Amino acid sequence: MLVNIGKLNKKIKICEEKKEKDSDGFEKTSELLLLSTWAQVTNTSGTTVIKSNADFSEVKTRFLIRTPKFEVTHDMYIQFNNHRYDILYSNDYEEDKRFMEIITKKVEL
């Protein structure tokens, strides 16, 4: 499949949680921005799950980006439209190391 570069039109951030201790010894978590880039965003599936008599929606989203210079792992996450998307997996799109497909799960905060 050919990638239409014009569809990489949504700005996303790939981030990682950085845990460190403050001067009092308490652990604090901060967001470490690894990459800000353009992506093609596609919602691939959505379901509603009932747990403990409460509705939870689960949305899986696909992000297509140019391959970054670092390895994208499931410990990272994507920020897009003020939402967090946990990375489930990533793979080399078309096996030519030009584009990367990242499949995520939207996190309801």
Taking 70 as the threshold, does the pLDDT of residue 103 lie above it? yes
pLDDT at residue number 47: 67
CA distance 55 to 51: 7
The CATH number of residue 15's host domain is 2.40.10.270
pLDDT at residue number 21: 84
Cβ–Cβ < 8 Å for 26, 19: no
Strands (E), the chain: 10-21, 27-51, 54-66, 76-80, 83-93, 99-107
Tens-place pLDDT, residues 8-64: 999 999 999 988 888 888 888 889 999 999 999 998 876 666 666 666 677 899 999
CA dihedral for 102, 64, 43, 56, sign (positive or negative): positive
pTM as predicted? 0.81
Tens-place pLDDT, residues 70-99: 999 999 999 999 999 999 999 999 888 899
pLDDT at residue number 19: 86
Which domain range does residue 92 map to? 5-107
